[in-house]
Amino acid sequence: EAGVAQSPRYKIIEKRQSVAFWCNPISGHATLYWYQQILGQGPKLLIQFQNNGVVDDSQLPKDRFSAERLKGVDSTLKIQPAKLEDSAVYLCASSLVSRGRPVGHSPLHFGNGTRLTVT
């Protein structure tokens, strides 16, 4: 199966500029996640969608970050305006919903991320 696709692979912008990242999850995966990974740290969850609804955006800096998944498939994450501390790798992941399975955790499938450098 095709994996999670992300673009662009790299992006360099100046502070106060805007940037957008795109993610195409694995076909049929209802749940989509955006993570921010700062160098040397584990991925930090920014937002989680199930189909086109937001499940968790508690750690999304909503004054500058926004994300959408209009048709329940592709997703876009936007930063406007960017700050120096936004320099990180932005990872998208998707997973199946375990319908009919009483407990458990569907493994996440990650893309290779977008490396953002804010100067």
Partner 1 sequence: LAKTTQPISMDSYEGQEVNITCSHNNIATNDYITWYQQFPSQGPRFIIQGYKTKVTNEVASLFIPADRKSSTLSLPRFSLSDTAVYYCLVGDGGVRTGGFKTIFGAGTRLFVKA
Q: How far is it, in rounded angstroms, from Cα 108 to Cα 78? A: 22
Q: How far is it, in rounded angstroms, from Cα 52 to Cα 63? A: 21
Q: How far is the CB of 104 from partner 1 (least distance, A)?
A: 5
Does residue 12 bind partner 1 (CB under 8 A)? no
Sole window of 21-29, 70-78, 79-87, 94-102 interacting with partner 1 (rule: CB under 8 A): 94-102
Does residue 56 bind partner 1 (CB under 8 A)? yes
| Other residues' Cβ atoms within 10 Å of the Cβ of residue 47 | 24
Sole window of 18-26, 68-76, 78-86, 102-110 interacting with partner 1 (rule: CB under 8 A): 102-110
Q: Are 25 and 18 in contact (CB under 8 A)?
A: no
Q: How far is it, in rounded angstroms, from Cα 83 to Cα 75? A: 22
Using CB under 8 A as the criterion, which residues of the chain lie in contact with partner 1 when the complex forms? 4, 31, 33, 35, 41-45, 48, 50, 55-56, 91, 93, 95, 97-98, 101-113
